[in-house]
């Protein structure tokens, strides 16, 4: 699941990840994402922290406080790389914090690592350390 209020960013990552074989459900806001997650329990969430309705920190807290969704890995996306923002994201329940703009291959590397997927041998798509 991909949640980002920036249409171009959301569509770009969705196209890239779909091309890598992932089924991506994308949402502009936190409320719609929470409703979807409660029904579908996605394998992973890529979550913009600066959402206009329910912000990413609150989405992460709600996902992690729900028995049905608490084990879903969350990658936080933020335009700010300040350490306190990264710490806040991790405290809210995010597993990884990536700064936007994020190269698609770095996002892919983080997804593969969190899902326990091996990158194809010889692949240059997976960053060696997505954190």
Query: What pLDDT does 130 receive?
Result: 36
* Phi, psi angle pair for 61, to nearest 5°: -60, -45
Q: Confirm whether 131 is domain-assigned.
A: no
Query: Does the pLDDT of residue 122 top 50, yes or no?
Result: no
pLDDT band at 119; cut points 50, 70, 90: low
Query: CA–CA separation, 34 vs 129, rounded Å?
Result: 29
Residue 68: CATH number of its domain:
3.40.50.2300
Query: CA–CA separation, 4 vs 17, rounded Å?
Result: 14
Look up the domain containing 91 and give its range: 2-115
Query: CA–CA separation, 33 vs 124, rounded Å?
Result: 31
Q: Is 9 left (phi over 0), alpha (psi -120 to 50) or beta?
A: alpha
Helix 30-40 vs helix 56-65: angle between axes, to the nearest 10 degrees?
20
Arithmetic mean of pLDDT, 61-74: 96
Q: Confirm whether 129 is domain-assigned.
A: no
The tens digit of pLDDT for each residue in 69-105 reads 999 999 999 877 667 778 888 889 999 999 988 999 9
Arithmetic mean of pLDDT, 16-31: 97
User: Is pLDDT larger for residue 101 or for residue 23?
Assistant: 23
Query: What pLDDT does 84 receive?
Result: 75
Number of domains the chain is built from: 1
Q: Confirm whether 47 is domain-assigned.
A: yes
Query: What pLDDT does 82 receive?
Result: 66
| Maximum pairwise Cα distance, the chain | 41
Query: CA–CA separation, 37 vs 95, rounded Å?
Result: 17
What is the residue-averaged pLDDT of the chain?
Answer: 88
Model pTM score: 0.86
Nearest to 24 by CA among 97, 36, 51, 129: 36
Q: Confirm whether 123 is domain-assigned.
A: no
């Amino acid at each position: 699941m991909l949640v980002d209020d920036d249409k171009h960013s959301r569509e770009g990552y969705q196209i890239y990840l779909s091309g890598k074989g992932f089924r991506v459900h994308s949402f502009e806001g936190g409320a719609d994402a929470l409703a979807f997650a409660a029904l579908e329990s996605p394998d992973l969430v890529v979550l913009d922290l600066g959402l206009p309705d329910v912000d990413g920190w609150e989405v992460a807290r709600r996902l992690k406080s729900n028995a049905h969704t608490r084990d879903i890995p969350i990658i936080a996306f933020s335009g700010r790389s300040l350490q306190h923002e990264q710490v806040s994201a991790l405290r809210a329940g995010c597993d990884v914090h990536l700064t936007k703009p994020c190269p698609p291959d770095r996002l892919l590397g983080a997804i593969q690592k969190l899902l326990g997927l091996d990158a194809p041998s010889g692949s240059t798509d997976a960053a060696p350390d997505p954190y």
